Amino acid sequence: MVLTPNNELFPDAELRRYARHLALPEVGLEGQVRLKAARVLVIGMGGLGCPAAQYLAAAGIGQLTLADDDRVELTNLQRQPLYGEGDLGLPKAEVASTRLRALNSAIRIEALVERITASNVMELVQQHDLVLDGTDSLIARYLLADGCHLAGVPLVHGALRRFDGQVALFPPQGPCYRCLFPRPPPPEAIDDCATAGVLGAVPGLLGSLQALEALKWLLGIGPRKGRLLLLDGLAGTIQPMALAQRHSCPLCGESPTISAPGGEQAACGPKGLAPEELQAVLDGPKPPLLVDLRESWERELALIPGEGLHLPFSQFEERKGELPRQRELLLYCHLGIRSAVALNLLQQEDYQTRHLVGGINAWLRETGQQERLY
Ligand SMILES: [Zn+2]
């Protein structure tokens, strides 16, 4: 038993359990006490939430709330190894709580078999020090982004598709999720895991990355600014990108228009172009210059015809000065994620630019070229 910096007693069993944390000068006893005092809300106990909650429980987060209204299905086991065959049909939040209590009985774990809604999000978020978004629902994602910013709680976001994914840290003061994606895209522009497929280790890696970002934030170590980590699972790379706060952000900008969670619903926003509008814009009197942010191998698979430039996203930060300022740019990529990040960077520098919401895949679907989707 030792005395903590706050003169509380820290039991011997916990000193032994967290010995590998205590050995890190960046954590030490003071950091472990911080983790023990922390309250973390994990929304969604699927492919992201499972590994994230496992590492958070193992790390000694004092209070974990696990929220999910789904039940375990056979198709989940391919990427949610916290569950077993005997759990089929049971509520994920409850099964996960039982498993994690067996892992660490010294922490409090609450199971919430509930869906996140506009009416419960604020109360839930306010009771925690950090929120980890592991949902695959866009509605929940925007509710959490809004709720966290309005309540001043940091958010660790995660999303994935097929072999790729992203993890972002949104500090309480911004930038926020809406600095990247001001409003939800139209529903048809979005694939979910059920239709798109996913290799199970990809969410395992992303959920672990989310836990790492959450632990660093709570310990007060590592970068404290908003940033995005883009995983390309096929290439095996993780690219970090600094996020900029957007002055015109409807949530954290200079004149915010959102004062309650889920305030503004589906629309592309002034800087997003819906795929069904693309042809008319390209045929118009002042067609924008298409900027393809994808890698060379992706251009072999499909291209949007029109006058354009190729600037791979992996070289974007070094080479963005090559883009013309006198002409409107239309950024596009595979799914509209890289283009949203690039748009965010260019808007700080007064470029005239928009991006294609949902990327080339949304456009291929819109133009009936399903066979070229990738
Ligand atoms: Zn914002």
Averaged pLDDT, 173-198: 71
User: If you measure from the C-alpha of residue 183 to the centroid of ligand 1, how many angstroms do you get, rounded to a whole number?
Assistant: 11
Helix (H, G, I), strand (E, B) or coil at 292: strand
Locate 324 and state its tokens. 């013309």
Q: For the whole model, what pTM was predicted?
A: 0.77
pLDDT band at 2 (very low <50, low <70, confident <90, very high): confident
Q: What DSSP element (H or E) covers 34?
A: helix 28-37
Q: Residue 167: left (phi > 0), alpha (psi -120 to 50), or beta?
A: beta
- Side chain identity at 119, as an amino acid letter? S
Q: Fill in the amino acid letter for 238.
A: I
What is the per-residue pLDDT for 102?
98
Report the DSSP pairing between strands 130-133 and 155-161.
parallel
* Residues annotated as part of the active site: 193, 333
Q: Is omega for the bond preceding 261 within 30 degrees of 0, making it cis? A: no
Tell me the average pLDDT of the chain. Answer: 90
285: confidence class by pLDDT, cuts 50, 70, 90 = confident
**Run of H or E including 201:** helix 201-219
First to last CA, the chain: 57
Secondary structure of the chain: what % helix, strand, coil (to 5)?
Answer: 40, 20, 40
- For 6-46, the pLDDT digits (tens) are 667 788 999 999 999 999 999 999 999 999 999 999 999 99
Give the whole-angstrom CA distance, residue 241 versus residue 148.
21
- 180 Cα: distance to centroid of ligand 1 (angstroms): 7
Three-state SS letters, 40-84: EEEECCCCCHHHHHHHHHHHCCCEEEEECCCECCHHHHHCCCCCC
The pLDDT value recorded for residue 268 is: 47
Give the pLDDT score at 185: 62
Q: Which residue has the higher pLDDT, 317 or 330?
A: 330
Place of tokens 């996913």: 198
Using the predicted structure, report yes or no on whether residue 193 has a pLDDT greater than 60: no
pLDDT in tens, 84-103: 999 999 999 999 999 999 99
Kindly give, in sequence order, each residue whose CB lies less than 8 Å from that of residue 170, ignoring residues fewer than 6 positions away: 145, 148, 149, 154, 155, 156, 157, 176, 177, 226, 243
Q: Is the pLDDT of residue 230 over 90?
A: yes
Q: Residue 149 pLDDT > 90, yes or no? A: yes
Asked whether residue 243 carries a pLDDT value surpassing 70, the answer given is: yes
Q: With a cut of 80, say whether residue 173 has pLDDT above it.
A: yes
Distance CA 42, CA 54 (A): 11
Q: Are 157 and 177 contacting, i.e. CB atoms less than 8 angstroms apart?
A: yes
Ligand 1 centroid vs 356 CA: distance in angstroms?
20
Cα of 240 vs centre of ligand 1, distance in Å, is: 19
pLDDT recorded at residue 7:
63
Among 40, 38, 30, smallest CA distance to 10 is for 30
CA distance 186 to 138: 10
pLDDT above 60 for 348: yes
Question: Cβ distance 182 to 157 under 8 Å?
Answer: no
pLDDT digits (tens, 9 = 90+) for 150-168: 999 999 999 998 898 999 9
Q: Which of 174-178, 187-191, 231-235, 240-244 has the lowest mean pLDDT?
A: 187-191
- 113-141 pLDDT per residue, tens: 998 988 899 999 999 999 999 998 888 89
The pLDDT value given to residue 264: 57
Share of the chain above pLDDT 90, in %: 64
Average pLDDT over residues 54-67: 98
| Residues making up the chain, counted from first to last | 374
CA of 243 to the centre of ligand 1 (A): 10
Ligand 1 centroid – CA 317 distance (Å): 21
Residue 266: per-residue pLDDT? 44
pLDDT at 50: 98
pLDDT at 307 over 50: yes
Torsion of CA 181, 182, 183, 186, to 10 degrees: -40
For residue 259, what pLDDT is reported?
84
Catalogue all structural domains in the chain, each as residue range(s) with its CATH number: 38-242 (3.40.50.720), 272-372 (3.40.250.10)
Q: Are 161 and 335 contacting, i.e. CB atoms less than 8 angstroms apart? A: yes
What is the distance in A from the centroid of ligand 1 to the CA of 253? 6
CA 252 to ligand 1 centroid distance, Å:
4
